[in-house]
Structure 1
């Protein structure tokens, strides 16, 4: 049984009683119906060997698993047994497992031993070894020259570990969706090194670190780190440690990953009596860094700036059409941004992402799917590749969660609690209310501050222990102890509020106005009718106000110029407008924004949006709401109806006022 067959078996086991047509499966696997029938026959042979022929119902049109839970469990266990795979492997699968075998071997492997282990002839092994050599050649790896003794890989320890992870990750067809489908490469490694014995402790160790440092890590990154930690532990137990430095500037600047790496390795030392070098700390720190196993994925380089701004812009566009401020949901934004980085990493490593819920999600939310597709180019222009349906389904899942959470929260009654006898009594009442009702306490205040609180908070009702001067439909008086009569009255009131909100169908919120462009753009940072001869001078002139204010140092200007020379005019984001920026590590001291208008347009070499008349210069250290103001400015400058008016304004103060009125 090859990988495709095992995947079919897993689909059947995960959907007991569900009938699958051959044509449907052929489309899903992108093969012919004849191939699906061949896969089915292999499964039937397998079931016959296990004396379970009745567990699969087969007809002319399709198949279904009709066995019980016990049979399903036995099949899954049997399907990942090494012997079962070793005599049914495809040539590609066998060559990968042979390579894994060589990577985990610390001695020579000869042809005879390999043919015995994999139940094939020596001629077959020799053919497989040609595939192994071709794979190794792509990574500039070779065998020990003493070929008469067999095969022994000549690799640095770091390279060996990384190749083991890469083979398992790449061959499984997804970024570490471990246990979602049978992964024979993973299973082979588990059996050879008895990795299952390490996992309970290592999993608990990672969970404790995640909790201790208040991290929010994706399943994919968590599983990748779990496997990496297991490999590190086994190799060090065998006496193979990394000796050479693996220091990277990005990792070095993130002190948290070093602290995490040191703490994790200290636990491994105590548990397994190991001795860890500084190079091992650096290696694990780099893995923690690239798996984003640290707090809230901060902005660390220019690519992070581009992704964060692109995602915020994308969510603002989607939000405007849904009339829901999804971009304000910080948890969803951070999680989606982290997931997009996982997708970037997978594409960079040539890993094909698969999403089990793609068809189901698109089928259930076609309008949201189309909405994402309409604005997807914002993200694709930054990533440099086209998103697949599986990639889009990931974004769709986050969008659905954000929308549903918004409406769920919005339908809850929003309450201000007031008490004149003291804040302590008001807080006591708030706790009592939360005990009895599912509501949102927006504020707890005293009577003399109520007027200001009402201006600043969106609310449905005020619950007070005293009589108020406000209109009677805005408040209700209760006892601080919440008597039975109070509870009944409040229960009816909250039900009415929820019912009315459901009828409206869309949020009825009293939002505070946005902070405004004045919070991020100062009048002295606007320069009009600047003379420049080329793109380099435009960047330099746009950066001058930030340099003068101390927001950046000269390294930042050099970094922006290098970015243009390396990546081209990607930051000319719309006709006539450029957004010059680099990474926080390139000399940013604090947030800064400037805007210049050129006296004569300058060519940046962009095939669609040249020449440039306006240039924004942005310096940013971390993610915050200021980005939204920058995006509003970008959108205003990109509005063809507003540009003639913007081009005609004579002074900086007037321009800032115009931007404030139109943002």
Structure 2
């Protein structure tokens, strides 16, 4: 029997019967295939028990044996008997890859042949495809003649490969459910998911559905490796960086609860591995640390400017886009440093729906990622695309709400924001929350919900409409129909504003009261103006670039021997003005030593900063122009002549100035002044004439 047939037999033993139609849906095969499987099961039972033990009636298969005969089926012996379990070639290759990822020593072709009861030639044929799979994913599969085959990887990498293998196998229709069951049949995965869900609620760190499943798989793997004596204290985990306190605390509680309920002693380093999953795949963002990631902010701002310029759309004022992009890029950088992967199930749909935007982002990313600061694959890139698509949709929104709506998406904020943007464009709705599927019951208990709008299959007594992540005309019609059935008036956003204006003009034609009309128009404007996304906040909240770069913080033609002294020279200016202490300068140098010359942001320009705000007294920026350019080790953008240093005490006050600097560095006019100025005042004059004015002066 193959694995599907084995699990069908287990279901028969446990439940007494199975429905052919339900089984066909579960395993994503036709009913004819299920009937063939039942024939194989019936033959197996007949061979073992010497009588017919299976009856099919009204499309339901019934097991007709007693408890003693169930013991005679020897199901436990079947679990690892690959002679009895005739697995397919594809199933066998997945299992071989699983063995290789798991193994701590070399394995031979003969070992695999013996284990799976096939010839050496069959295993050799399997390895042709296995090598292709590994090569595509940059997995170092090593074959030593006469010694064996192994995967040359660290514990951290093995965990990533095992997770990737599970993700790949569960994407195959024929293995959707039972490959996972086959590997973790002795582990109560539902208990793991319950522990993670409780921790999510307690700490307010919400995982997407994919990340939730990925973390559950990771924990199950750790339990299995511990039970197989393949896991121990590792020094690798100590090299991980940027683990925020809250995810670490949440991870600690999860691991300790796993140890308690499963009666294990997972090592303390397991906490770090779980925290990495939480930090890299959740919607968590520590606001206190945003300002310290200056390069991420610069990259996000530069990307927004670049995309907006090409599309001829002003996206710089959309704070929601900036915040969302910074959050995603921080997580992306985090994943890149820690060899983590993320999967976007909407990738193909997004690329097809937004080909122009995808092309623009691809060109920008390809031109900039050579610096080695962040690496993007198509999954990461299409998550970035989601943020931009949602921002573009938001531009035409005029939100008014009536029904209470809960949006359910499997991939988290990026997808849900896109759905919400489209919904608010066409309807007056009150979006109470956006959630991943596994948190549905929590939000149904927290908010009054009239309608659920979901991008994933859903079973709920609450009225719901299934839509595409990118809303179609059919989706909009289905939403209108459902809202109408629920008794809500269908109000179009644009029609609503037009109607209010028409009423105002009717009143004016009767009263001819100019002052009343002005007051009413002002009230209407206050209701619909898009102020929630504006970067222009209250006076003094943001620093203008001219407030940071002054004649006191700019020095020209400084002579230094190397990049470290260049950073010290730039930092010294801020230290002397009591913006920072020497600790911040040392931390900035240490960041380059640890992560490489990622601070070289464009040709000839470095933006020095530390990865935390230790030693920062107040927000400031300095600039030194070097007499002789120095090498930072960045092949694309060396040598560096201009060294800016940025220090921030909060997450927002510097963003307008940083945005202006990013735009200026793209202008030839500014770069010419930067190169040729004989005194700081020439540079300051240009900045004051061209910067964003947030002071209203």
- TM-score band, normalised by shorter chain: 0.5 to 0.7
Residue 213 (str. 1) matches residue 213 (str. 2): no
- Pairing 1:499-538 to 2, within 5 Å after superposition: 515-518=543-546, 520-521=548-549, 523-532=551-560, 534-538=562-566
- In 2, the alpha carbon distance for the partners of 1:97 and 1:648 equals 65
TM-aligned CA distance change 1:214 to 1:657, over 3 Å: farther
What does residue 660 of structure 2 align with?
A: 632
CA contact under 8 A between 2:621 and 2:644: conserved in structure 1? yes
- Structure 2 residue aligned with 1:323: 314
Q: CA deviation at 1:636?
A: 2.0
1:642 is displaced (CA, Å) by 3.1
2:384 matches 1:395: yes
Alpha-carbon shift at residue 309 of structure 1 (Å): 2.2
Shift of 1:219: 4.1
Separation (CA, whole Å) in 2 of partners of 1:101 and 1:249: 27
Distance 1:619 1:566, change over 3 A: same
User: For residues 234 and 622 of structure 1, do their structure 2 counterparts lie closer, same or farther at Cα, with a shift above 3 Å needed?
Assistant: farther
Local SS of the residue matching 1:617: strand
Look up the SS of the partner of 2:625 in the other structure. strand
CA distance in 1, matches of 2:533, 2:143: 67
Alignment match, 2:164: 169
Q: Quick one: distance in 2 between partners of 1:281 and 1:212?
A: 17
Q: Whole-Å Cα distance in 2 between the matches of residues 228 and 632 of structure 1?
A: 43
| 1:28-58 residue CA offsets vs partner (Å, 9 max, x unmatched) | xxxxxxxxxxxxxx99996894599xxxxxx
Contact 2:298 2:662 in 1 (8 A): no
1:118 equivalenced with 2:116 (yes/no): yes
In structure 2, C-alpha distance between the alignment counterparts of 1:101 and 1:310, rounded to whole Å: 41
Match of 1:55 in 2: none
Q: Equivalent residue for 1:541?
A: 569
Contact 1:590–1:621 (8 Å) recurs in 2: yes
Equivalent residue, structure 1, for 2:184: 193
Matched with 1:271 is 261
In the alignment of these two chains, the number of paired residues is: 510
Give the superposition deviation at 1:246: 5.4
Q: CA offset at residue 314 of structure 1?
A: 0.4
Q: Deviations over 1:399-434 (max 9, x none)?
A: 2122223432x4559xxxxxxxxxxxxxxxxxxxxx
Are the structure 2 counterparts of residues 298 and 226 from structure 1 closer, same or farther at C-alpha, using a change threshold of 3 Å?
Answer: farther
The equivalent residue for 1:28 is none
Tell me, yes or no, if structure 1 residue 642 matches structure 2 residue 670.
Answer: yes
Deviates more, 1:358-367 or 1:100-109: 100-109
> Normalization by structure 1: what TM-score?
0.59
Residues 243 and 277 of structure 1 are in contact (CA less than 8 Å); yes or no, is this contact kept in structure 2?
A: yes
TM-score, normalised via structure 2 length: 0.56
Q: For residues 241 and 117 of structure 1, what CA distance do their matches in structure 2 show?
A: 23
1:313 aligns with 2:302: yes
Match of 1:659 in 2: 687
Instruction: Give the corresponding residue for 2:193.
Output: 203
How far the C-alpha of 1:306 sits from its partner, in A, is: 3.2
- Give the alignment of 1:24-423 within 5 angstroms: 49=36, 87-90=87-90, 94-98=92-96, 100-101=98-99, 115=113, 118-121=116-119, 124=122, 159=155, 163=158, 165-170=160-165, 172-173=167-168, 179-182=170-173, 184=175, 187-194=178-185, 198-236=188-226, 242-244=232-234, 247-248=237-238, 250=240, 254-289=244-279, 291=281, 294-296=284-286, 305-320=294-309, 321-324=312-315, 325-329=317-321, 332-337=324-329, 340-341=332-333, 344=336, 357-377=346-366, 379-383=368-372, 391-408=380-397, 410=398, 412=400
Give the Cα separation in 2 of the matches to 1:273 and 1:317: 54
RMSD: 5.9
Q: Is the 1:326–1:403 contact (alpha carbons within 8 Å) kept by the matching residues of 2?
A: no
- Specify which of 631, 635, 658 is matched with residue 604 of structure 1: 631
Question: Residue 624 and residue 221 in structure 1: after superposition, are their counterparts in 2 closer, same or farther (change >3 A)?
Answer: farther
Q: Give the whole-Å Cα distance in 2 for the aligned partners of 1:133 and 1:377.
A: 28
Q: Judge conservation of contact 1:218–1:339 (CA < 8 Å) in 2.
A: no
1:169 Cα deviation (Å)?
Answer: 0.6
Residues 439 and 650 of structure 1: CA distance in aligned 2, closer, same or farther (over 3 Å): farther
Pair 1:577 & 2:605 matched: yes
Q: Is the 2:280–2:334 contact (alpha carbons within 8 Å) kept by the matching residues of 1?
A: no
Residues 600 and 606, structure 2, Cα contact 8 Å, conserved in 1:
yes
**Unmatched 5+ residue regions in structure 2?**
3-23, 40-58, 61-81, 402-427, 432-499, 505-512, 692-697
Q: SS of 1:593's equivalent?
A: strand
Secondary structure of 1:542's counterpart equals: helix
Do the aligned residues in 1 keep the contact of 2:302 with 2:662 (CA within 8 Å)? no
Alpha-carbon distance between aligned partners in 1 of 2:105 and 2:670, rounded to the nearest angstrom: 72
1:595 to 614, 617, 623: 623
SS in structure 2 opposite 1:584?
coil
Consecutive unaligned residues in structure 1, runs of 5 or more = 3-15, 17-41, 53-69, 72-81, 414-436, 441-459, 464-468, 478-489
Aligned residue for 1:242, secondary structure, equals coil
Query: Which whole-Å CA distance do the structure 2 matches of 1:510 and 1:280 have between them?
Result: 41
Deviations 1:116-172 (A, max 9, x none): 76342366558879999999xx879999x9x9xxx999999x93x863551341575
Separation in 2, partners of 1:106, 1:655: 61
C-alpha distance 85-342 of structure 1, shift in aligned 2 (>3 A): farther
Q: Return closer, same or farther for 1:84/1:357 CA change in 2, 3 Å cut-off.
A: farther
What displacement does 1:313 show? 1.5
- Contact 2:205–2:282 under 8 Å retained in 1: no
**Structure 1 residue 259: deviation in Å?**
1.5
